[in-house]
Amino acid sequence: MGLPGFSRPWMHYLERDATMKRYPLITGWLYLTGFVLGLAALIPASAQNGVILDQQLDPNNKGYTVIRVWGSHYEMGYAQTSLLGDYIVQGVNETKAYLDQFHMYNYVRGIMATAVWMPPGIEDEFDGAVDCLAISHPTENIDELDLKVACTAGEWLYGCRSHTCWGRYVADPIKTLSTRRLDFPSLYSSMNHHVLCACDPDDGSPRWVNLGWPGMPTAATGVNEFGTVVSLHDYYCDTDFAAGRMPRMVACRYALSYATDPDVSTHLAGVFAELQSYEIMTGSFVNYYAPEGHGGVMVCNPYQSGPDFYYLRTPRETWHHGEAMITTNTWTDGTYTPPDEDFGADAYYDDETPKTQESHWDLLASGSNSLHLLSVAYRAREDMTIWADGRLDGIGRTPRLEWEWSDLFGPGPMLGDWNGDGYVDLVDFAALEDCLDGPDGGLEPGCDCFDFNDDEDADLEDFAGFQLVFTG
């Protein structure tokens, strides 16, 4: 396409724009553009709308990654795949190999083709991932159904434990403690790559943090900006694979990102009512641990008479003052401890001294070898501490990841920082070329960070602003 930076018709505008005299550095910068863009091709890849915040993997890809993605749902799907494409391909291929042992892969693809996927933006996330893989891994020929099969392993088995507390059991500034343990076998190696993904959609839906595996827009364990921990637990796992049913990992994701009312006390009833309008694929408990006693446990079964989501358990005064809840894999109406409870919840809550996040974590972590563990100390909306770790088969566990919500999401992309890594450098300069459309060109998707004067375009005025923040 010729020298980058000189390929667009609007660049003729430079030759006659008197503002060139006001920015003497621009001419030098434009001469450097071709060199810099060539150099940028040698820089390790960064994704528009996504950044790796932390990563530790061994040669077998066992370990963890912490990432942040933002923008439209399509852009978030594309960004996560740009950052983790090799590992997503690994997961898809291992899922296929696992199911092919039982001659079931094409059968499961057919099920996912007729399943219900919500919220609507989740389909855009899959589209973004597929489009990215078509470029980065064209010979793999991975399509949307391949990704959907890989992202619904939770239809098969989830043994879990969770507990949450508030009121007398916490001390300021903490308002609620919630911890969730996922007891699940590692069906294949890629389940040893644990991903903590901070998702920041631009459509007005809540931010959320997902603990899962590479390229997973569905959810088994997550927390949203309101401090609500949402997770899946096995309970009477009857399945109905008829067309038009919602996989339970999709229901979990939908619950995580559905409610937007600032009044958290309205969320549980609203989410439960919304899920009652769908038929579920696999029976389950869906934890909805909203903070300060506003949460509950939603029970569903595909063969239930009436709505598949048929029962809503809320805190009961007779169980530890109605200021704690527990979820295992057997029934309770909330007035008694479920019979399969095996981690000492009653003794823990009989001691009414305020709990710490450390003790809340330890109650589920001690003596277990869970696939992953998530704990949240909630103080206020978008003000919480998140801990997570994961099992590494044959090695041990990841280190405990300890993040503040504010550090996962940051203050928002700064001007000029296209890839959101906290620097304005050569990678951002390389991206600038595709965003410079002149004073009447508007803004391409993902180019907002280059609109320095907030006039809804990227032109010479903005180029001059970029020079001032460029750090190299």
Q: What is the mean pLDDT of residues 310-335?
A: 97
> Which whole number is the average pLDDT over 185-204?
95
Q: Which domains does the chain have, with CATH numbers?
A: 9-46+424-469 (no CATH), 50-409 (3.60.60.10)
> pTM here?
0.82
pLDDT (tens digit per residue) in 408-426? 998 656 788 877 777 788 8
pLDDT in tens, 228-286: 999 999 998 889 999 999 999 999 999 999 999 999 999 999 999 999 999 999 999 99
Closest Cα partner for 268 from 298, 292, 232? 298
Locate tokens 């043994």: which residue? 159
34-48, 175-189, 342-356: lowest mean pLDDT where? 34-48
Of 188, 196, 220, 193, nearest to 93 (Cα)?
Answer: 188
For residues 354 and 170, the answer to whether their CB atoms sit within 8 Å is yes
